[in-house]
């Protein structure tokens, strides 16, 4: 091996996920000499094995389920077809082409902004120096400022280690044949999004959740329509149940049910989705002295770590572990390095669950709002009274607005229903701009749209909804 090559740069970003690549693009645009390092293709978990591929699979499952309905002639639209077939291999290939297009897109955007993308594994030598190991050898990079954007990884259960039949979301998104039976450990958004998709494809799905309810992040009113849909899809839900491990033959999951009985769930595959952990090991954190917040890297409202010249963004810094949070932090950090005045306002980060129906939440739930304000007003408008939802046969769900009772300042907005993920934009904007109930009620919403439910919910909170 020849001598080690040394590079110097103003900014080094470790990780090319949503946080890292956005930081790199913005820094490049601002004329900062920037290098972004990652050992995998640009886009991180989100693009390669997370948000994007899962939405592709979910969409394919929706279309397949629709075709199944048409083939049974049980939809009132007057459409009948012959029985549909699923070529999962082709579905996965289609998903991969989208991912590749976006990978190339991200790499192209970094190049266009003037940032350099290097493939390799980064390891701190000290607070200003990083060694990058790649197929061509080791490169030493000295940087004035370093941004840690190493992301997160699926949590592994010691009694159900990944391998063989036991898979994480990564493997679930790359299956080439449909499992006949699937046991899912964890009833959070990842487990339910994928579980519902496989159930629509025809897999027999069982969900094992240790808590008493699914989707513990959302309140019961929001999750009820999802629970009903799971039941309709034939998904078996075991709440208050604990997974124990694999059966001796390895073809079943052992669980203890809520009433303390031991049970066996036959499973071709066991999908473990019990959360994600920060990737805080494997890149030399021990060579530098960073304060932690539990397993996460502790940062202030400008994403600065306890070491000068080192920032951290995204999942490695804690909850909520969301791509759009990482992106906002990455953009802010690039601007701070360029000398702009910026800080991190996390009041309005939308959280979306792409189950069927979808769930959106921005800001405070009614319960959380009661802690923020002495008295609150809540307006709820059901999609059963919305013309557009009815024409889409998607009238399950509602829009809910939570506001202070005294000055009508909106504290939180939630919705559950078909396609409500797209309403997150309006909800986020309202909260970001400090809207009052009157602002939403006084905004003319186009008819017929599901978005009218937003205006009607605000009117309801004011005491004069028109269509209910």
Q: How confident is the model at residue 3 (pLDDT cuts 50, 70, 90)?
A: low
On whether the CB atoms of residues 310 and 146 are closer than 8 A, the answer is: yes
Residues with Cβ within 8 Å of residue 304, at least 6 apart in sequence: 310, 311
- Chain-wide mean pLDDT for the chain? 96
State the pTM of this model.
Answer: 0.95
The vertex-106 CA angle with 100 and 110, nearest 5°, equals 145
Q: Is the pLDDT of residue 347 over 80?
A: no
Q: Is the pLDDT of residue 2 over 60?
A: no
Question: Quick count: other Cβ atoms within 10 Å of Cβ 418?
Answer: 19
What angle do the packed helices 51-72 and 189-201 form, to 10 degrees?
A: 30
Q: Express each pLDDT in 192-219 by its tens digit.
A: 999 999 999 999 999 999 999 999 989 9
Q: What pLDDT shows up at residue 289?
A: 87
On whether the CB atoms of residues 418 and 358 are closer than 8 A, the answer is: yes
Domains by residue range for the chain, with CATH: 5-49+92-154+277-337 (3.50.50.60), 166-274 (3.50.50.60), 351-462 (3.30.390.30)
Q: How confident is the model at residue 312 (pLDDT cuts 50, 70, 90)?
A: very high
C-alpha distance across the termini of the chain, in Å = 75
Could you list the beta-strand ranges (E) of 186-289: 204-209, 236-239, 242-246, 252-256, 262-266, 269-272, 276-278
Residue in 55, 42, 92, 359 with CA at minimum distance from that of residue 220? 359
Q: How confident is the model at residue 4 (pLDDT cuts 50, 70, 90)?
A: low
- In the numeric block, which tokens belong to residue 435? 């809207």
On whether the CB atoms of residues 151 and 330 are closer than 8 A, the answer is: no
Q: Express each pLDDT in 69-123 by its tens digit.
A: 999 887 788 899 999 999 999 999 999 999 999 999 999 999 999 999 999 999 9
Q: Is the pLDDT of residue 186 over 90?
A: yes
Q: What pLDDT shows up at residue 346?
A: 79
Rounded-to-10 torsion of CA 136, 142, 146, 152: 30
**Across-strand partners of 375?**
none
Q: What pLDDT shows up at residue 394?
A: 81
Q: How confident is the model at residue 39 (pLDDT cuts 50, 70, 90)?
A: very high
Active site residues: 447
Q: How far is CA 42 from the centre of its chain?
A: 17
- Measured CA to CA, the distance from residue 377 to residue 375 in angstroms comes to 7
Across residues 243-272, what is the average pLDDT?
Answer: 95
Across residues 163-171, what is the average pLDDT?
Answer: 97
Residues with Cβ within 8 Å of residue 422, at least 6 apart in sequence: none
């Amino acid at each position: 091996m020849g001598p080690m090559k040394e590079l110097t740069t103003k900014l080094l970003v470790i990780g090319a996920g949503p946080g890292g690549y956005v930081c790199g693009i913005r820094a490049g645009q601002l004329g900062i000499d920037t290098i972004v390092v990652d050992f995998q293709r640009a886009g991180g978990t989100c693009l390669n094995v997370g948000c994007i591929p899962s939405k592709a699979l979910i969409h394919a499952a929706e279309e397949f389920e629709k075709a199944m309905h048409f083939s049974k002639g049980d939809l009132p639209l007057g459409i009948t077809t012959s029985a549909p077939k699923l070529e999962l291999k082709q579905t996965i290939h289609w998903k991969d082409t989208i991912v590749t297009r976006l990978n190339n897109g991200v790499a192209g955007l970094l190049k266009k902004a003037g940032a350099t993308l290097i493939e390799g594994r980064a390891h701190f030598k000290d607070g200003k120096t990083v060694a990058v190991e790649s197929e061509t050898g080791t490169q030493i990079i000295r940087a004035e400022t370093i941004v840690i954007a190493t992301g997160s990884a699926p949590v592994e259960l010691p009694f159900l280690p990944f391998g063989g039949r036991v898979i994480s979301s990564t493997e679930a998104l790359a299956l080439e044949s449909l499992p006949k039976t699937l046991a899912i450990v964890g009833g959070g958004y990842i487990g339910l999004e994928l579980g519902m998709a496989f159930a629509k494809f025809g897999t027999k799905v069982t969900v094992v959740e240790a808590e008493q309810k699914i989707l513990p992040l959302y309140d019961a009113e929001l999750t009820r329509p999802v629970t009903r849909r799971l039941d309709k899809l034939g998904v078996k839900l075991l709440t208050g149940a604990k997974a124990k491990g694999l059966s001796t033959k390895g073809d079943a999951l052992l669980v203890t049910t809520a009433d303390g009985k031991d049970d066996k769930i036959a499973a071709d595959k066991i999908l473990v989705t019990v959360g994600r952990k920060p990737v805080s090991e494997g890149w030399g954190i021990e060579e530098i002295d960073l304060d932690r917040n539990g397993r996460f890297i502790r940062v202030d409202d400008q994403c600065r770590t306890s070491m000068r010249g080192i920032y951290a963004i995204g999942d490695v810094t804690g909850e909520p572990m969301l791509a759009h949070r990482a992106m906002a932090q990455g953009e802010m950090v690039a601007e701070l390095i360029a000398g702009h005045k910026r800080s991190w306002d996390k009041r309005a980060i939308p959280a979306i669950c792409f189950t069927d129906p979808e769930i959106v939440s921005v800001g405070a739930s009614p319960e959380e709002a009661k802690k923020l304000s002495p008295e609150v007003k809540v307006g709820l408008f059901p999609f059963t009274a919305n013309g557009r939802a009815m024409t889409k046969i998607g009238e399950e769900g509602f829009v809910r607005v939570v506001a202070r009772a005294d000055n009508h300042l909106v504290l939180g907005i939630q919705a559950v229903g078909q396609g409500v993920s797209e309403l997150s934009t309006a909800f986020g904007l309202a909260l970001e701009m400090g809207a009052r109930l009157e602002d939403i009620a006084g905004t003319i919403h186009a008819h017929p749209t599901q978005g009218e439910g937003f205006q009607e919910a605000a009117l309801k909170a004011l005491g004069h909804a028109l269509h209910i």
